């Protein structure tokens, strides 16, 4: 599992607009979600290729390759059909950009 970290020198200042623009340039349609503390998504799959990216909070993603705690500026690719789960870690909400591959 590879977590892509936001690098200000390469990506500029992190904001919702800049993260959204980066994902859209990669060919993804982007939606914004806010998940409150305690949110948990059990094992599931998607019929599309996705990227889960985090603007704030801590979001733990678990795949067959392991677990990763995503924080502000972090993103992970979730290929179609990959079993994965996710949960909000800590007392804060997670603001996430959910990106779905177009085409």
Say what the pTM is: 0.93
The rounded average pLDDT for each run of 10 residues, N- to C-terminus, in the chain (103 residues) is 93 96 97 97 96 97 94 96 96 97 89
85: closest CA among 103, 64, 101? 64
Phi-psi region of 35 (alpha: psi -120 to 50; beta: other; left: phi over 0): beta
Query: Is the torsion defined by CA of 64, 70, 75, 80 positive or negative?
Result: positive
CA atoms within 13 A on the CB side of 84: 26
pLDDT at position 103 is 77
Helix (H) or strand (E) holding 88: strand 84-89
């Amino acid at each position: 599992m590879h977590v892509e970290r936001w690098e200000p020198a390469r990506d500029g200042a992190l904001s919702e607009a800049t993260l959204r623009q980066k994902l859209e340039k990669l060919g993804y349609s982007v939606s914004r979600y806010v998940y409150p503390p305690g949110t948990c998504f059990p094992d599931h799959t998607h019929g599309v290729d996705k990227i889960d990216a985090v603007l704030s909070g801590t979001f733990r993603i678990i795949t067959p390759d392991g677990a990763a705690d995503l924080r502000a500026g972090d993103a992970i690719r979730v290929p179609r059909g990959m079993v994965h789960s996710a949960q909000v870690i800590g007392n804060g909400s997670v603001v996430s950009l959910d990106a779905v591959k177009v085409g």
